[in-house]
Amino acid sequence: MRMPAIALASKMVGRWPDGSPLTRCPAKPDPSLSDANDFGFWEEDKAGLKCPIGAHIRRTNPRDHLVTERTQKDSREMAAKHRMLRKGRPYGPPLSPELDPHTLLQRTEDGEERGLHFICLVTDIRRQFEFVQNNWVNFHKFGGLENDSDPIIGNHYQNERRKTDSFSIPEYPVRKVLTDLPNFTRLKGGAYFFFPGIRALHYLLANG
Out of 137, 145, 169, 181, point to the residue binding ligand HEM (CB under 6 A). 137
Query: 60: exposed, middle or buried (C-beta count within 10 Å: 0-12, 13-18, 19+)?
Result: buried
Of the candidates 67, 73, 24, 20, the one whose C-alpha atom is nearest the C-alpha of residue 44 is: 24
* Per-residue mark of binding to ligand HEM, 74-93 (x: CB under 6 A): ----------x-x-------
Identity of residue 171: E
**Residue 156 within binding range of ligand HEM, rule CB under 6 A:** no
CB of 173 to ligand HEM, least distance (A): 28
Q: Are 92 and 115 in contact (CB under 8 A)?
A: yes
* Per-residue mark of binding to ligand HEM, 107-126 (x: CB under 6 A): ---------x-x--------
Of the candidates 185, 147, 127, 154, the one whose C-alpha atom is nearest the C-alpha of residue 56 is: 154
25 secondary structure, DSSP code: -
Q: Are 15 and 56 in contact (CB under 8 A)?
A: no
Q: Hey, CA dihedral for 75, 87, 183, 189, is it positive or negative?
A: negative
CB of 7 to ligand HEM, least distance (A): 15
Q: Which residues pair with 121 in a beta bridge?
A: 85
Residue number with CB closer to ligand HEM (49 or 153) = 153
Angle at 38 between CA 72 and CA 77, to 5 degrees: 35
Out of 41, 129, 139, 167, point to the residue binding ligand HEM (CB under 6 A). 129
Residue number with CB closer to ligand HEM (150 or 165) = 150
CB of 137 to ligand HEM, least distance (A): 5
* Per-residue mark of binding to ligand HEM, 25-64 (x: CB under 6 A): -------------------------------xx--xx---
Out of 11, 15, 50, 156, point to the residue binding ligand HEM (CB under 6 A). 15
- Chain positions contacting ligand HEM, by CB under 6 A: 13, 15, 56-57, 60-61, 84, 86, 116, 118, 129, 132-133, 137, 152-153, 185
